[in-house]
Amino acid sequence: MEALLWGILGPERVAIERRSRTLGLGAAVRAFNDLAVPGMGNVYFGKQLVLAVLGIAVAQHIRERGGKAQNIETANAVEALACFLAFEQNKWSSDIRLRGVSKMSGKPVPTFEAARKRNFYVTQPMRMATIQPLREIHLVEARAERFNAFAIAERGQSLIDQFCDEYPQVYHSRNVFRRLCDWASGDSRKLTSLTEALSPCQPLPDNVRAKLRTYIVDGDDHGAKRRKAVFEWVKSFGWQPIELTAGRPAQLDEAHWNDIESGAAFFAVRDAAIALLDAVEEQMGDSSVPKLFLGQALPDNLKPWIDDLGRLAQAFIDRSYDPSPANDASRFCRECLETGHVIENLVERDGRVLKLVDGAVIPGSAFRGRAGSGLEVNSTEEEEESAEAHTHEAGTFGSFSPRIWNMQLLAMDLDGSLSDYLETLKAEQ
């Protein structure tokens, strides 16, 4: 594989949501992400996990006392409060660890009843990225895969206890958990006392970071070993971009590296396919009649995109290794090699931004007429685990799994240096 420079991007890039062009590749995307960094979802800093566990614990507390509270709405409310308090502290400045600036700006400190409502906070809270790791590192007991079915496991309770021990009196004699339970019961007095504990921009206490690191990378199972290998690999770069050469990193075994390289080859094809669809959309947007007839000669400016896609698709096929479910990745690449039908094949997979009707490509419901247009993603509970496929922005990660870059940020966070790194980035901009 040719040398790649995998850059660490500025804070504003992480929060940008890619338009929802999954191309029916969700299973393949999840497979390659899990082969690269098993079980970590889209987590890139430790407090994502802590806030999710706190939310579940508060919901359990309410239910045990006869109240009604679902895990999802309660965890969303806790996360919304945490981000609100952080925004109040940083004067409503953007940060990759915060969400909801446009939704919550100008509002008063939220009550629990307000924060638990669907329309108060963002449609894709950070909680959604934690579903897989909460199960994988045994912070919850999962009777089913849905977040609402989670219950706090022994590890999760230990994490909460250690976290709350660091903030024993955030309001009179109440620790963080008890104060959140009071908030859920209607007491919204002096919630700013929770800022240091809850703010995603504030680092976790040293012992909590150490515990999380142990949970994530220690263990003899296959997933833990691979997470530890990637953790040590990305940690060796410190704050520097990850430079990838033809050689296998010493921290990774041959099978792991083969999976990562195969994933990179697949993601390169996926990104090139999205780039071609963007080019088609832009071509249509520049026309007085936004329609592309596939029975006619294609515009010359689309040929380089088609050629590039074909080259990358052939490179994946030539590897003769496809660990994706039912060889989904190979089937997709073969569709991309059908030069005379490639646009038709991709538009059929899209169907949302562009769609195929009577042999012509016409605008779909998400059509904007310009390449790379942003689009808010509406996820259902069933889609939460595939959030990575929705939020990945083509080219951002040099085609490698975004989980590897996430692990570099997580390594910084668990070493206590993420805030310093982000401040350095801001100063350089």
- What is the rounded distance in angstroms from the CA atom of residue 247 to the CA atom of residue 237? 16
pLDDT of residue 19: 57
8 Å CB contact between 261 and 245: no
In sequence order, the β-bridge partners of residue 152 are 140
Write the single-letter amino acid at 143.
R
Domain boundaries, the chain: 4-41+251-403, 47-203
What pTM does this model have?
0.87
Sign, Cα dihedral of 359, 364, 370, 374 = negative
pLDDT of residue 246: 65
pLDDT of residue 377: 34
pLDDT of residue 357: 94
Query: SS3 sequence, the chain?
Result: CCCEEECCCCHHHHCCCCCCCCCCCHHHHHHHHHHHCCCCCCCCCCHHHHHHHHHHHHHHHHHHCCCCCCHHHHHHHHHHHHHHHHHHHCCCCCCCCCCCHHHHCCCCCCCHHHHCCCCCCCCCCHHHHHHHHHHHCCCEEECCCCHHHEEECHHHHHHHHHHHHCCCCCECCECHHHHHHHHHCCCCCCHHHHHHHHCCCCCCCHHHHHHHHHHHHCCCCHHHHHHHHHHHHHHCCCCCCEEECCCCCCCCCHHHHHHHHHHHHHHHHHHHHHHHHHHHHHHHHCCCCCCEECCCCCCHHHHHHHHHHHHHHHHHHHCCCCCCHHHHHHHHHHHHCCCCCHHHHHHHHHCCCEEEECCEEEECCCCCCCCCCCCCCCCCHHHHHHHHHHHCCCCCCCCCCHHHHHHHHHHHHHCCCHHHHHHHHHHHC
Nearest to 394 by CA among 291, 308, 328: 308
pLDDT of residue 426: 85
Can you give the pLDDT of all 429 residues of the chain as single tens digits?
444 444 454 433 333 334 578 999 999 999 999 999 999 999 999 999 999 999 999 999 999 999 999 999 999 999 999 999 999 999 999 999 999 999 999 999 999 999 999 999 999 999 999 999 999 999 999 888 899 999 999 999 999 999 999 999 888 889 999 999 999 999 999 999 999 999 999 999 999 999 999 999 999 999 999 999 999 999 999 999 887 666 899 999 999 999 999 999 999 999 999 999 999 999 898 877 788 888 888 889 999 999 999 999 999 999 999 999 999 999 999 999 998 899 999 999 999 999 999 989 999 888 988 755 443 333 333 334 444 443 333 334 457 899 999 999 999 999 999 999 999 988 887
pLDDT of residue 315: 97
pLDDT of residue 245: 65
